[in-house]
Amino acid sequence: MQVLHVCSEMYPLLKTGGLADVLGALPTAQVAEGIDARVLLPAFPDILNGVSEPQVVTQRDTFAGHMRLLYGRFNGIGIYLIDAPHLYSRPGSPYHDANQYAYSDNVLRFALLGWVGAEMACGMDPYWRPDVVHAHDWHAGLTPAYLEARGRPAKSVFTVHNLAYQGLFYAHHMHDIDLPASFFSINGLEFYGQISYLKAGLYYASHITAVSPTYAREITDPNFAYGMEGLLRQRQEEGRLSGILNGVDENIWDPSKDELIHTCYSRDKLAGKVENKHQLQVSMGLTVNPKAPLFTVVSRLTPQKGLDLLLEALPEILEKGGQLALLGAGDAVLQEGFLAAAAQYPQQVGVQIGYHEAFSHRLIAGADVILVPSRFEPCGLTQLYGLKYGTLPLVRHTGGLADTVFDSSLENLSEGIATGFVFPDSDAHSLMCAIRRAFVLWSRPALWRYVQRQAMNMDFSWHVAARSYRDLYQHLM
- pLDDT on residue 99: 81
pLDDT above 90: residue 341: yes
State phi, psi for 395 to the nearest 5 degrees: -135, 160
pLDDT above 90: residue 109: yes
pLDDT band at 355 (very low <50, low <70, confident <90, very high): confident
pLDDT above 90: residue 52: no
- pLDDT on residue 397: 97
- Give the model confidence (pLDDT) of 216-257 as tens digits: 999 999 999 999 999 999 999 999 999 999 999 888 999 999
- pLDDT on residue 98: 82
pLDDT above 90: residue 16: no
- pLDDT on residue 179: 97
CA distances from 259 to 53, 362, 455 (A): 28, 10, 21
Cα–Cα dist 111/42, whole Å: 11
- pLDDT on residue 17: 82
- Give the model confidence (pLDDT) of 367-393 as tens digits: 999 999 999 999 999 999 999 999 999
- pLDDT on residue 121: 98
Three-state secondary structure call for residue 80: strand
Rounded to the nearest angstrom, the gap between the alpha carbon of residue 358 and the centroid of all alpha carbons in its chain is 17
- Give the model confidence (pLDDT) of 160-189 as tens digits: 999 999 999 999 999 999 999 999 999 999
- pLDDT on residue 4: 98
Of 68, 80, 70, which Cα lies nearest the Cα of 37? 80
- pLDDT on residue 18: 84
pTM of the model: 0.90
Cα–Cα dist 314/304, whole Å: 18
CB under 8 Å to 265, separation ≥6 — which residues?
255, 256, 271, 272, 273, 276, 365, 390
Cα–Cα dist 112/177, whole Å: 8
- pLDDT on residue 101: 86
Average pLDDT of the residues of the chain = 95
pLDDT band at 83 (very low <50, low <70, confident <90, very high): very high
Cα–Cα dist 29/447, whole Å: 35
C-beta of residue 362 within 8 angstroms of C-beta of residue 277 = no
What the chain holds in terms of domains, given with CATH numbers, is: 2-247+462-476 (3.40.50.2000), 271-456 (3.40.50.2000)
What is the distance in angstroms between the CA of the first residue and the CA of the last residue of the chain?
10
Encode 38-57: b = buried (16+ Cβ within 10 Å), e = exposed: bbbbbbbeebbebbeebeeb
- pLDDT on residue 256: 96
Of 460, 459, 461, 469, which Cα lies nearest the Cα of 34? 469
pLDDT band at 93 (very low <50, low <70, confident <90, very high): confident
pLDDT above 90: residue 38: yes
Q: What is the mean pLDDT of residues 331-340?
A: 95
Cα–Cα dist 212/188, whole Å: 25
pLDDT above 90: residue 348: yes
Neighbours of 174 (CB within 10 A): 18
